[in-house]
Amino acid sequence: MDEKEISLDVIKSAIEDKGAKWQPSITSLSEMSLKEQKSRLGLQPTNAELQLVAKLGLDKPVGGKRSGKRSKRLSNPGSTGLPSKWDWRNVSGVKWTTPIRDQNGCGSCVAFGTIAALEALLKIRTFKDSNKSIDLSQAHLLFCGGGSCSGWHMDHACNYLKNNGVPDEACFPYSKGLQTKSCTTCSNWQSRIDHTKIPSWSNTKNVDQIKANLVNNGPQITGMAVYQDFFSYAGGVYEHVSGGLAGYHCVSVVGYDNQNQCWICENSWGTGWGEADGGERGWFRIKYGECGIEDVFGMWNMTVTSAKGSGYATYILVDYSLTSNNRVLWAYAGNKWRYRHITDAQVAGIAKLLMEASKVYVWWDENKLTGIRAFKQ
Amino acid sequence: MNKTEEEIMAELETESEKLRAAAGVPEIAAGPVSVALEEAMKEVYPQMLETGLAAAAGSGTASHALVDYSLTSANRVLWAYAGKKWRYRHITDAQVAGIAKVVMEASRLDVWWTDGNLTFVRCWKKF
């Protein structure tokens, strides 16, 4: 890696020479030492990914020999039937992303990139509510999932979410994680995972599939090579023009723009860096084919469960208090107990009917029963 | 016929257990389902768990349920045999048409009591 620091003037000159379309500036990271800048990364690529980096020459300085294969992955705009632009920060005027966060001087980008994508997916797919307040614990995912400030990988983060889920930020605040650097999470975290235990995840390098996943599911997670000039990014469509490889980073991808030939991404370096969106800095756009996004890493697509659902009940319960008006109908379906407070008339009506049924199908919204179908064979 | 009522009920319970075992009736709500129910109950009636159910003198699964109905007075009584004793509660006609019927159709009945009086019933149905 090139350890030599680069000045803003050098970057500006390189942008002009290359005809790049991004603006450099002094940022909250640009004035840091290289060591401090590198501590804001934290993706540890697999051996296979490192081999691809070497094969494509992404670890070589600008002007070095790089493979020309990258452009072959790019789809023809309009060829997929997908919109030419998609941005989860503004879908028909609605913002589905969660705020820019700051990983500080810990290589926790994988936890931040993964959580940023998951939080948005939960708003979009699970709760179908852009105003839903969701703040999940990056510290729990990282320190309880097997990662550390030295770095991690998206495969491990996604597997942890699939097997365990992740609790809310208050359960294990990031500030506490930075102090302890170990799994000092709350004792009842397993009852606070809500819908974060993901059913499945997948990775693809197929650009058309990535765009379809972005539109039809939600934000994705990706890895990228980070070069020194990236720390001075303040807006526009980034492409590497100057400086050596600083390391590897994980971010959430929230959209794409075929006209400007770029991905739209959410970073975790706070609001003193990057492009502004609605007055909030911390975002960036990066040119298709840059930094190994499509060729080396691809994108990780997580599926989430819907809060609304339906299914056959394996148990029905009727709770009846003989000292108060509490009457509750319960159904165990979709691996959870769902319930509804009912009246005495409903005990005599639907509850009795359910007890006589041979099978019962129920609909729910989160834990509340919304509909029932009783079968008799 | 010198057996006491308690001895008769004990025999009945033993025979019932044998019948259940012979029929291979599966355990209801074993393991994770029960744990999940405990968690879900905290959301549904947290105050009641602290005051009502927790304050109950005892609870258990009833092996028998009875409904006594007087045709010459307003006496209607729901009985449950649990914790080796009969527990009861006076109920109304509406409750005979409601919870008493549900109790009769249930595949398992859990009850809570205080001083011999039933305070809470839970009717299970397994599919």
Burial state string for A93-112 with b = 16 or more CB within 10 A and e = fewer than 16:
eebbbbebbbbeebbbbbbb
Candidate from B36, B98, B126 with C-beta closest to A347 = B98
Q: Between A and B, how many CB-CB pairs are < 8 A?
A: 101
Each residue's pLDDT, cut to its tens digit, for chain B (127 residues) gives 456 666 656 665 665 555 445 444 434 455 667 778 887 887 787 776 666 676 778 899 999 999 999 999 999 999 999 998 999 999 999 999 999 999 999 999 999 999 889 999 999 999 9
Where in chain B are the domains? 5-124
> In a 10 Å sphere around its CB, with 0-12 CB exposed, 13-18 middle and 19+ buried, how is residue A65 labelled?
exposed
Burial state string for B63-82 with b = 16 or more CB within 10 A and e = fewer than 16:
bebebeeeeeeeebbbbbbb
Contacts of B40 in chain A (CB under 8 A): 330, 336-337, 339, 367
Partner-chain contact A323 B119, CB within 8 Å? yes
Contacts of B93 in chain A (CB under 8 A): none
Partner-chain contact A321 B48, CB within 8 Å? yes
Q: Per residue in A120-156, pLDDT tens?
A: 999 999 988 999 999 999 999 999 999 999 999 999 9
Partner-chain contact A330 B39, CB within 8 Å? no
Q: What is the pLDDT of residue A68?
A: 45
Partner-chain contact B102 A315, CB within 8 Å? no
Please tell me the distance in Å from A134's CA to the nearest CA on chain B. 20
Candidate from B95, B122, B126 with C-beta closest to A314 = B126
Q: Per residue in A203-239, pLDDT tens?
A: 999 999 999 999 999 999 999 999 999 999 999 999 9
Candidate from B94, B106, B120 with C-beta closest to A355 = B106
Nearest CA to A332 among B99, B29, B46? B29
CA separation, residue A81 to residues A51, A75, A215 (Å): 34, 11, 11
Q: Per residue in A241-273, pLDDT tens?
A: 999 999 999 999 999 999 999 999 999 999 999
Candidate from A314, A344, A352 with C-beta closest to B94 = A344
Give this complex's ipTM: 0.75
Domains of chain A: 8-303 (3.90.70.10), 308-375 (2.40.50)
Confidence (pTM): 0.70
CA-atom Rg of chain B in angstroms: 16
